[in-house]
Amino acid sequence: MDGQGTRNGAGSGRDRDWWARLYDPYTPDTGRTRAGDSVDDRFASVARTLGTTEGGEAPTAEAGREPPDVAERPGKAEPSGAGEPSDAAEPSGPAALLPRADPDAPAELVPDTVLEEARHGHTTLRAGSLRGEAAREAGEPRGDALLVARFGAGADALVLVVVAAGARTDGASAHRAAREACHALAAAVGRSAPRLAEDLRADRRDALRPGLHRLTDRTLGRLRAQAAAWGLTPAQHTADVRCLLVPTDPRCRTRVCFGAGAGGLLRLRDGAWEDIEPRATPVPPPAAQPLAGPGRAADAAGAAAARDGFTAAEPPSSALAEPFRFRACAAEPGDALLLASRGLAEPLRAEPSFADRLAARRPRAETGPAALAAYLADLGHHVPGHTRDRTGVLLQED
C-alpha cells in the first residue's frame, strides 16, 4: 500500500489524485469555517461521508445519525479496562506448567504425550502415554515411560511393549527410572528375541517364566544400584514395569505379560472387561551358598553382575523386592488386551463408565490419525480423584 492507504497500482488516477489532495497540507479548506483542518479532521469527515467508522464498521443506525456506543450495540459486551474486551467468560482450565529444563541436559526433556500405532498379522496395536493432571499442575515431567519395539522381520519377529511408571517419591528422577527400565528390558529382550519367539510359538510357558523372572530382577537391581550410587533409597529410584511379548506370526496366538509392581492387564471379550492381572509370585529368601573353593557362587554372581552392567550387592530382602508377575494367555479372535500403568489401571477398576468408554474405542482393522486421536482423548478422560500419569497399550485381535 502507498502512503495514502491504497494498494499500489489499484484504482484509477482520479482516485489517487483525490487521496493526494485530501492529505496535502497546502490544499485550501472547503469547510464552512475558515479555520484550517488537521489531517485527522479531514479523515473523520471523509469517514462520515462514506458511512464508515474509524474501525471500518458500517454504522447500524439510520443515515445521518452517529453510530451507537459500544455498550448499546446488540450482542456486544461492555468494555472493561482501557477499552479492551473482556475474556473472563472463556474457560481457563487447570494450570499446565512445563517441567523445568536443565540447559546442560537437554536429553532429559520428556514430551508431555507419546503415541504409537502399528499392525502386525491379525493384531492392531494402539498405545499412548500422557502426563497426568497432578504432574501438569506441579510442573513435573511425565513419570510414565512407554516403549514399543519390533525385533526381527517377517513372521519370525517379536514385538515388545514396555509400560513403566517411576516412583513419585522423587519427582526429579521418576522419569529417569522409568526410561532406564524400559531401555534395559528392551536391550535384553532384543538380544534373545529369536529364542523367545520360538518359545512363544511352541507355547513353552514353563521355560519362559524363569528367564523373564531373572530379567526383571536384574533390571530392578540395576535401578537399586544406581540409587545407592546417588545417595538415594531404593524406593526413590525404582519403577513399576509391565511388559507384553507379542509374536508377529499370525498362527501364534500366545501373549505373555510379565513384570513387577503396580499396573494392570485387562481383556475385553464379548463386550465386557475381564481383569486378568498376572498373579504375583513372592520372592523366596536367598539360599545359603557354599563358600568352599575359589570358584564359589558369590564370585560367579559378582561376575554376572559386572557383565550385566550393575554393581553386585547382597540379594534384596523380600520386603524390598517387588513380587514377579507372569501370565501367558491365548488370544481369541475379537479379543482386546489392555496393558496399563497404575495411573490408568486404577480409574479403570474404580469407574465402570471410563472402562466402557475405552471399550467403545477399541481398534479395528482400519487405522489412522483420527482413530488414534480419539483413543488419546479417551485415555485422558477426566476421572475425579485420579490424576496420575496414564499409559495404556491396546491390542485388538481381528
CA distance linking residue 177 with residue 222, whole number of Å: 10
| Domain match, 40 and 148 both | no
Q: Report how far residue 41's alpha carbon sits from residue 55's, in angstroms, rounded to the nearest whole number.
A: 16
Q: C-alpha cell of 312? A: 553386585
* CA–CA separation, 390 and 380 (whole Å): 7
- Whether residue 17 lies inside any domain: the answer is yes
Q: Within this chain, do residues 177 and 34 fall inside the same structural domain, yes or no?
A: no
Q: How far is CA 261 from CA 167, 227, 344, in A?
A: 11, 18, 14
Are residues 37 and 170 located together in one domain of the fold? no
The total of structural domains in the chain comes to 2
Judge if 55 and 139 occupy the same domain. Answer: no
Does residue 39 or residue 220 have the better pLDDT? 220
CA angle 272, 367, 147 (to 5 degrees): 80
Q: SS3 sequence, the chain?
A: CCCCCCCCCCCCHHHHHHHHHHHCCCCCCCCCCCCCCCHHHHHHHHHHHHCCCCCCCCCCCCCCCCCCCHHHCCCCCCCECCCECCCCCCCCCCCCCCCCCCCCCHHHCCCCEEEEEEEECCEEEEEEEECCHHHHHHCCCCCEEEEEEEECCHHHCEEEEEEEEECCCCHHHHHHHHHHHHHHHHHHHHHCHHHHHHHHHCCCHHHHHHHHHHHHHHHHHHHHHHHHHCCCCHHHCCEEEEEEEEECCCCCCEEEEEEECCCEEEEEECCEEEECCCEEECCCCCCCCCCCCCCCHHHHHHHHHHHHCCCCCCCCCCCCCCCEEEEEEECCCCCEEEEECHHHHHHHHHCHHHHHHHHHCCCCCCCCHHHHHHHHHHHCCCECCECCCEEEEEEEEC
On the question of pLDDT at 236 being above 80, the answer is yes
Let me know whether 207 and 337 are in one domain: yes
pLDDT for residue 89: 36
Is there a single domain that holds both residue 54 and residue 185? no
Tens-digit pLDDT profile for residues 237-290 = 999 999 999 999 999 999 999 999 999 999 999 888 999 998 887 655 444 444
Query: Is residue 94 situated within a structural domain?
Result: no
In a domain, 86, yes or no: no
My answer on whether 48 and 174 are in the same domain is no
- Domain with 251, as residue range(s), is 113-281+297-397
Residue % of the chain over a pLDDT of 70: 63
Residue where a domain terminates, one of 23, 48, 72: 72
107 part of a folded domain = no
What pTM was computed for the model? 0.68
pLDDT digits (tens, 9 = 90+) for 94-127: 678 999 998 998 988 999 999 999 998 889 999 9
pLDDT of 206 over the 70 cut: yes
Is 133 part of any domain? yes
5 pLDDT more than 50: no
Lowest mean pLDDT among 82-86, 284-288, 316-320: 82-86
Handedness of CA 305, 311, 316, 319 (dihedral sign): negative
Q: Do 120 and 62 share a domain, yes or no?
A: no
Q: Cα–Cα distance between 304 and 312 in angstroms, integer?
A: 8
Q: Are 245 and 375 in the same domain? A: yes
Per-residue confidence band for 77, with pLDDT thresholds at 50, 70 and 90: very low
Is residue 248 a contact partner of residue 159, using CB atoms and an 8 Å limit?
yes
Kindly state the greatest CA–CA separation across the chain: 121
Q: Which residue has the higher pLDDT, 329 or 314?
A: 329
Average pLDDT, whole number, for the chain? Answer: 77
Assigned domain for 288 exists: no
Tell me how far the alpha carbon of residue 337 is from its chain's centroid: 20
Do 254 and 345 fall into the same domain?
yes
Task: Give domain status of residue 102, yes or no.
Answer: no
Instruction: Answer yes or no: do 205 and 303 share one domain.
Output: yes
CA atoms within 13 A on the CB side of 60: 7
pLDDT band, residue 56 (cuts 50/70/90): very low
How far apart CA 306 and CA 295 sit, in angstroms, is 16
Question: What pLDDT, on the 0 to 100 scale, is given for residue 159?
Answer: 97
The CATH number covering residue 359 comes to 3.60.40.10
Question: What is the tens place of the pLDDT at every residue in 171-192?
Answer: 567 899 999 999 999 999 999 9
Q: What is the structure's pLDDT at 358? A: 85
Distance of alpha carbon 51 from alpha carbon 41, whole angstroms: 15
Q: What is the pLDDT of residues 157-169, one digit of tens each?
A: 999 999 999 987 7
Residue 73 has pLDDT above 50, yes or no: no
Direct distance between the N- and C-terminal alpha carbons of the chain, in angstroms, rounded to an integer: 62
The larger pLDDT score, comparing residue 59 to residue 198, is at: 198
Considering the domain architecture, whether residues 198 and 145 belong to the same structural domain is answered as yes
